[in-house]
Amino acid sequence: MPSSKADANPTKFRRSGGILLHPSSIWGDYGIGELGQNTFKWIEFLKQAGCGLWQVLPLGPTGYGDSPYQSFSSFAGNPNLISLELLFQEGLLDRRDFDQMPDFSPERVDFGKLIPWKANLLNRAYQHFRQHRFPDLQDEFAQFCTAQAEWLEDFALFMALKQAHQGRTWMEWEEPYRQRSPEAIQKFAQRNQTMIDSVRFQQFLFFRQWSALRTAAHEAGIRIIGDVPIFVAQDSCDVWCYPQLFKLNQRGYPRVIAGVPPDYFSPIGQRWGNPIYNWKEHHHSHFDWWKRRFKHTLNQVDFIRIDHFRGFCACWEIPAHLPTAEKGRWVKSPGSRLFRHLKTELGENLPFIAEDLGVITEDVIRLRENFQLPGMKVLQFAFDDHNPRNPFLPHNFSTRCVVYTGTHDNDTTLGWYISLDAPIRAAVKRYLPWIDQDPAWQMIQYAWASVAVFALAPLQDFLRLGSEARFNYPGKIGQYWSWRATPDLLSGQLAAQIAQLNQQYNRQSFEA
C-alpha cells in the first residue's frame, strides 16, 4: 500500500543497468500483463540477469488512445493491470466468472475486448467482497480508504459519474456535475454508492498488488523507475477537480493545448491536446498539487523519469482550435520555483531523471544542472548530424546521465537500423564497426560500456526484435501501446547473457 509520506531517504543513483518494460507487456492468459504470478517471474528474470533497474511507464488508468500518458488521474492506478489470478486465489472470483472470457491474443493487447470484459469481472469481485465479507480484507480496505481519501474520494466519484454518462468527457456532463455543485454531487453519491465503492475497491486491489511486487523487487536488489508526465489529460479527475490550475474556458475546455513544434518525430510537430497549466495559481498554492503528486508517485517507485522536462522551462502553447502543432509559442514555466519546493518537501537529493529530449535550450540545461538531475541520452539520436560533438554519442557523456538504446517512443533498435538511409548507416558503422553482426546487441553494449550512471534498453532490444514489436509512434493513433512479450522469449540463456553484460561493465544490482 502507498503510505502517507514519501521516503525521506530516496535511493541514491549508482552505476546500474536495467530493462524498460511496461507491466501491460507481461505475458499471461487474460489479455494484458497483470500484477500477478508472471510479473513476479519477471522480477526473478531481472534478478538472474543481474539487473538493478526495472523501468515502467505511468501506471494510471488509461483514457484516450489507451496511452499511459493520457490518464484519468495522476494518482489512481490502472485497474486493467489487476491480477485476476490473484483475485481467484483469494476467493474474490470463482471459475464461473471466467466462462465468457474472450479469445485474447498472447502477442497484443486488444483494448476493445479487454476493457469491458475486465471491468465486469472487477465489479463481480467487489460483489463477492460485499457478500462474503472477508474480515481481513475489510480492515485493509477501510484503512486504505482512510489513508488515500485525499485523492480517492474525488477519483471514485469522477469515474462513477463517467460511467453514468456512458464514458463521455466531463465537459459534456450536465452543468451541476461539470461545476461540481455540492448538492448535485451529494445526491448522485447517495444514489450510486455501490458504483463509487466498487471504484474504491479496485484502487485498493491495484495498490495492494503493486505494493507486493515492489517489495519483491527490493528483495531482489531491483529498484523501479516510474514516470510522471508533465501534462495531464483534459478528461481527467485532476482537471475536473482543479480547473483553476489550468487555462480553460468557462465550459471547461482548454484555450490552449500542449505539444511540441516540428521535430525528429514529426515534420508538423505533435499536437498532444493536454491543457496547459495556469502557473500563477500553482504558485499561489505553493505548488501543493505538484508536491502531493510527486510524493504519491514516490510511494510506488524509487526513481521518477520526468517526461517532457523542458516544459518546466517553457511550454509550447498551441491555440486549441488549430489542427496541427506548427503554429504555437513558447511560454515560460516556473521550473526553478517548483523544484525548490520539491527539494523542501522530498529532500536535497531528488530521485528524478530529466527527459531532456527535443528542443533543448540553455535554460533547460541550467535547470537540470542546478538541481543535479541526470538527463537522458538516446543512442538512436547520435548519428543524424554526422557531428562528433553530438551529445548523444557516448564519448561526450558525463556520468550524470541515463543512456538508452531507444525509448518506448522509438522504433526498436533493429527496426531503426534496418530503416536507416545509406549515409547515416555508414556513420553508425564508422562508430560501431561490428554493428551489422548484431545491431541491437552492439548498441546495448555501447550503452552499458558508457560512463552513464544508468543504462537501459527496452526488452524488445534484448530480444533483437524488429519494427513489428514497436511500442509507440508519437503523434499517431493506432495499434500502439499493445505489444506483449511471450514467455518463450525469456530464456535462461538470455538472462545469463545480460548478467555477463552487467558484470563486465560493473553495472550492479542494489543489493550488491
Mean pLDDT by groups of 10 residues along the chain of 512 residues: 44 93 98 98 98 98 92 98 97 95 96 97 96 91 98 98 97 97 97 97 98 98 98 97 97 95 82 95 98 98 97 96 94 97 95 93 96 98 94 97 97 98 96 96 98 98 98 84 96 98 97 70
Amino acid making up residue 68: P
What 146-149 contacts at long range (C-beta under 8 Å, 24+ apart), as own/partner pairs, is: 147/1, 147/2, 147/3, 147/4, 148/2, 148/203, 148/207
pLDDT at 8: 37
| 349 occurs within a structural domain | yes
| 254 occurs within a structural domain | yes
Q: Which residues does the annotation mark as catalytic?
A: 307, 355, 409
Structural domain that includes position 271: 242-288+309-372
Number of domains comprising the chain: 1
- Rounded to the nearest 10°, the torsion over CA 266, 272, 277, 278 is 90
- Rounded to the nearest 10°, the torsion over CA 243, 244, 246, 249 is 70
Rounded to whole angstroms, how far apart are CA atoms 53 and 204?
Answer: 26
| 281 occurs within a structural domain | yes
- Global pTM value: 0.96
pLDDT at 256: 97
pLDDT at 1: 63
A 10 A CB-CB count for 322 gives 14
| 478 occurs within a structural domain | no
Rounded to whole angstroms, how far apart are CA atoms 18 and 42?
Answer: 12
- Rounded to the nearest 10°, the torsion over CA 31, 32, 37, 40 is 160
| 300 occurs within a structural domain | no
pLDDT at 291: 98
Phi then psi for 115, rounded to 5 degrees? -60, -50
| 279 occurs within a structural domain | yes
Return the H-helix or E-strand segment holding 225: strand 223-229
Q: Find out whether 474 and 307 touch, Cβ atoms under 8 Å.
A: no
pLDDT at 71: 97
| 247 occurs within a structural domain | yes
Q: Find out whether 256 and 317 touch, Cβ atoms under 8 Å.
A: yes
| 256 occurs within a structural domain | yes
Pull the grid cell for residue 420.
536507416
